[in-house]
Amino acid sequence: MDKKYDSIIVGSGAGGLATALCLARAGQEVLLLEQHDVPGGWCHSFMLNGQRFSPGLHYVGLIGEGDSTNELLCGLGIANDMVFFEMNKKGYEHCHIGQEKFDMPSGIEHLKTELCKRFPEEKKGINKYVDLVKTIHTQMMVIPNMKGFWDHITVPFKTKYVGKYGLFTLKRVIDWHIKDPLLKTILNVQCGDHGLPPNRASFLVHCMLMAHYFDGGFYPMGGGGGYVKAFTKRIKSLGGEIRTQSKVDRILVAHGKAVGVKLANGSIIKADQVISNADPNSTFLDLVGSENISNKLRKRLNTTKYSVTSLILFLTLDVDVTKYGIDSGNIWKISEPDLDTVFGKLTKKDILNGDEFNGVFVSCTSIKDPASFNGRYHNFEIVTFLDYAAFEEFENDKDYHTEAYATFKKKLINKMLNTVEQLIPDARKHIIQAELGTPMTNNYYINSTRGNVYGTEKTLKGVGPFAFKAKTEIENLYLTGASTLSHGVGGATNSGLETAAKILGCKAQDLLIKDDNQKLRIYDAEDSESWPEWVHQKRKDRVRRFKEIDIA
């Protein structure tokens, strides 16, 4: 513990992992600390009775060759250690809205074609709106790459639509272009990926998210754990250290400077820089201490709002779910074509009211990641949002696993299964296991403020120039993760580059090193003929091991 590091990173979510990798590659001695027994934060995977689940990583976009996520992973030098499966091209998102259904296909032109077929009277608005989303995404991607005097002079012309629509909500902009309520909900269904209803969501944030998936959805082999493993392998190869079960109790500040950390076991570790992958409230109020921050920052933290929290049902079924139309595409099951109303119902304190949840996200990982399928069991992650207030009664218990908590969970699982059975009739008859992750679970494993899943709220007041910056008011203390640059897997990973660039005094793009030997392997999740022999063998081995266990 006498060793001093160049940088200590507190928390190993996607932002922390990317920061650690970039700093280690720049020659720094890096220590990454994680309170959980596995690294990854929301990206981690875990095993439940032999079945793998990933609570936070459900799909990634822009994975094709030449696309930004592909170039990000290649530039970080980890692409060769990753495999992605492309989800259903004809419907990587299945929208179940009331009694209506629509499959969202890969490819922006395919999307416009299918939408115009379904809503011919809205053809002009559809084309104009979807093209606007794409244009704003393109212009937003230009901003980080701008260099020199001339680029900054011309930025108002290169990003004019960003300026024109930057202060509007999603609802306001889509209402200008689209009239049909069902069509609006289809186009806005991915609000679930930032956790805000259209009347509160930033239009720019939604554009970035929607365009991220225009070319379809992709899922990493190994789930979130596959994504994390590629990072940890690279960090270790560069001499970086990763310690799990190492909860940070305090970020040490002396004379206005961050000088190291104190662990929960009392150990003190010194460093030239400390980078926090925790959210701002956890960082400044819990780890730094309010006595070490300015009144201005204290006031800001008191008014900072965080994103929604969640319930996640980890479900294993012993049935061929493909008979019910389940495939590699996500399912968004929405009770009615008004997302503002749906979100309002989801975030009421009385979450036991009603027989079903008004909005759920359904992901079948055993089809998304065919190498994980044991030939018999199918695994699901089923997510809905809620108001954290519904769980506040358990917050002050030293151990929240009380009888009342167990009873509450049981009722919520039953309500969730009512929703599942609308998609898979008699699902209850085939349950192998059904475990529920709650906001208390989020607090315990992720240590997020009020169990939030996306960091700070992505309203107009919480993004862009109004978001928390990587460099803080405390010298040598930096932030990374979903509350800074952006949320989601790609956004949080890119935040790690931004933070490392601030420390190293360079541009984030400078940290992506071109290497023609780096190449992502991408296969079709549902076309076994596209898989190489080793994927087939991996699946055969899993089926064989499962049969051996079943016989035993």
| Three-state secondary structure call for residue 367 | helix
Pairing of strands 257-263, 248-254: antiparallel
| Three-state secondary structure call for residue 213 | coil
Rounded to 5 degrees, φ, ψ at 316 are -120, 125
Summarize pLDDT for 536-548 with one digit per residue, the tens: 999 999 999 998 8
pLDDT of 550 higher than 80: no
What is the assigned CATH class of domain 4-84+220-304+461-511?
Answer: alpha beta
Of 427, 54, 95, residue with least CA distance to 221: 54
* Contacts with 250 (C-beta within 8 Å, 6 or more apart), sequence order: 261, 262, 287, 288, 289
**Based on the number of CB atoms within 10 Å of its own CB, is 80 exposed (0-12), middle (13-18) or buried (19 or more)?**
middle
In this prediction the pTM is 0.94
pLDDT of 147 higher than 80: no
Q: Is 177 left (phi over 0), alpha (psi -120 to 50) or beta?
A: alpha
Query: 479 near 280, Cβ under 8 Å?
Result: yes
Q: DSSP letters of 393-414? A: GGTT-SS---HHHHHHHHHHHH
Query: 434 near 319, Cβ under 8 Å?
Result: no
What is the mean pLDDT of the segment spanning 52-81?
Answer: 96
- The two tokens of residue 527 are 């076309």
Query: 374 near 382, Cβ under 8 Å?
Result: no
Range list of H helices, 263-313: 280-281, 295-303
Q: What is the pLDDT of residue 548?
A: 85
Lowest mean pLDDT among 112-116, 388-392, 526-530: 388-392
- Gyration radius (Cα) of the chain, Å: 23
* CA 182 – CA 178 distance, rounded (Å): 10
What is the mean pLDDT of the segment spanning 48-53?
Answer: 95
Average pLDDT, the chain: 93
Which amino acid is located at 52 in the chain?
R
Q: DSSP letters of 35-91? A: SSSSS-GGG--EEETTEEE-SS---B---STTSHHHHHHHHTT-GGG-EEEE--TT-
Long-range contacts of 390-399 (CB under 8 A, 24+ apart): 390/349, 390/350, 390/351, 390/439, 391/309, 391/438, 391/439, 391/440, 391/451, 394/440, 395/440
**Based on the number of CB atoms within 10 Å of its own CB, is 66 exposed (0-12), middle (13-18) or buried (19 or more)?**
exposed
pLDDT of 155 higher than 80: no
pLDDT of 158 higher than 80: no
Summarize pLDDT for 241-290 with one digit per residue, the tens: 999 999 999 999 999 999 999 999 999 999 999 999 999 999 999 999 99
The fraction of the chain above a pLDDT of 70, given in percent, is 96
pLDDT of 2 higher than 80: no
Sequence spans of domains, the chain: 4-84+220-304+461-511, 88-216, 309-446
What is the mean pLDDT of the segment spanning 339-357?
Answer: 88
pLDDT of 25 higher than 90: yes
Q: What is the pLDDT of residue 1?
A: 54
Summarize pLDDT for 212-229 with one digit per residue, the tens: 999 999 999 999 999 999
Q: What is the pLDDT of residue 551?
A: 66
Query: 331 near 362, Cβ under 8 Å?
Result: yes
Lowest mean pLDDT among 47-61, 370-384, 431-445, 457-471: 457-471
Report CA-CA distances (Å) from 106 to 114, 159, 284, 294: 11, 26, 42, 48
Q: What is the pLDDT of residue 552?
A: 58
pLDDT band at 71; cut points 50, 70, 90: very high
Q: What is the pLDDT of residue 149?
A: 45
Q: What is the pLDDT of residue 397?
A: 64
- Kindly report the length of the chain: 552
pLDDT of 151 higher than 60: no
pLDDT band at 146; cut points 50, 70, 90: low
